Amino acid sequence: METTVKDLMQSPVRVVSKGDTIAHARNIFLRERISRLVVVDGSTPIGMLAKKDVVVGLSNYRMRARELGSISIQEVMRSPIKVINEGTPIIDAARLMVSENIRGFPVVEEGGALVGIITKTDLTRFFYEHYAGKYKVSDVASKRDYVPVLHGGHTALRAVDLMQEYHTDRIVVVEGEKPVGIVTETDLSFLRNYRSGSGPHRGEAAYDDEQAPSRVYLLPTVDDIMTRDPLVVDMLSDAASAAGMLLDNGIGGMPVIDERGDLAGMLTKFDFVKIIAREAN
């Protein structure tokens, strides 16, 4: 029996309205540990808001100067959007993700009402369950020449630029050719500035007596915000096992290393989507 979107989609879906604020969306992203939200009008999907959309929106100088509670989701969401029917074969869903360069679609029933969401994570799980022993990491991952890299002294704004240039959600931080850290869209989306001068912070918001507003730092460095000692995978490892590593650790990608421990590429969940889509041809 053919696997369809309905078999793999996530339901129910966390939704927001276009009039909600980025501060509200930020809290959902952090609390639910998800990367995208569906924007709805009633039960009809009208847009998508991903962490990357927040990064891109806040890279604008004038937007960056505003408090998150004053920025509406409508100002940074992607709209109009494509949706996918729940009866679509999963192979076709993979092909559509690749052709549209989109990491997730709202899923609708025949009447057009929202019933779920299908993402690169769901397709990575499908790869993990069905492709064991078929590919090595080197067959799936992006090669070194196509991996965006920075050093710790670069600014976070340079990381934003590089993510847009490479159409990616993560950047490897290197010393020489050794991967020593990784910067993701989450790191760039949810920095908080404190009047106390304690520096940039990631993750759950803390609260102090001064009730400081949430803002993005102007010039934190990559070294300030990166995740150190990232999970890595050898280029000769089984790709399905690597997919399981990403799923088990709740991350979207990891550096690929060669026998010397040098950076040899990058493996992301979207790479598995590409393989599934390619097999449909």
The answer to whether residues 221 and 155 touch, using CB atoms and an 8 Å cutoff, is yes
113 shares a domain with 23: yes
Cβ contact 95:5 at 8 Å: no
Burial of 236 (0-12, 13-18, 19+ CB in 10 A): exposed
DSSP per position, 12-47: S--EE-TTSBHHHHHHHHHHHT-SEEEEEETTEEEE
How far apart (Å, rounded) are the C-alpha atoms in residues 129 and 143? 25
Q: String of b and e for 185-205 (b: at least 16 CB within 10 Å)?
A: bbbbbbbbbeeeeeebbbeee
Residue 126 lies in a domain: no
Q: Do residue 199 and residue 172 come from a single domain?
A: yes
179 with 264, same domain: the answer is yes
Task: Please tell me the total count of domains within the chain.
Answer: 2
Q: Does 280 map to a domain?
A: no
> 56 and 161: one domain?
no
Q: Are 211 and 158 within one domain?
A: yes
Domain match, 106 and 172 both: no
CA 24 to CA 40: how far, in whole Å?
Answer: 15
259 and 166 within one domain: yes
Is 16 contained in some domain? yes
Buried b (16+ CB within 10 A) or exposed e, 61-78: eebeebebeebbbeebbb
Alpha carbon 130 to chain centroid distance?
Answer: 23
Q: Give the C-alpha separation, 75 to 106, whole Å.
A: 20
**One domain for residues 74 and 45:** yes
Tell me the CATH number at 106: 3.10.580.10
Q: Is the whole model's pTM more than 0.85, yes or no?
A: no
For residue 113, the enclosing domain spans: 5-119
Nearest alpha-carbon partner for 19 in 60, 85, 64, 77: 77
Residue 181 lies in a domain: yes
- Strand runs (DSSP E) across 165-225, as ranges? 170-175, 178-184
| Same domain membership, residue 223 and residue 162 | yes
Same domain assignment for residues 60 and 155: no
The answer on 107 and 170 residing in a single domain is no
Same domain, 106 and 197: no
pLDDT in tens, the chain (281 residues): 689 999 999 999 999 999 999 999 989 988 888 889 999 999 899 999 998 888 888 777 788 788 889 999 999 999 999 999 999 999 999 999 999 988 999 999 988 899 999 999 999 999 999 999 999 999 999 999 999 999 999 998 899 889 889 888 899 999 999 999 999 988 876 554 333 333 333 433 333 333 444 444 457 899 999 999 999 999 999 999 999 999 999 999 999 999 999 999 999 999 999 999 998 55
Question: 119, 148, 165: which is the final residue of a domain?
Answer: 119
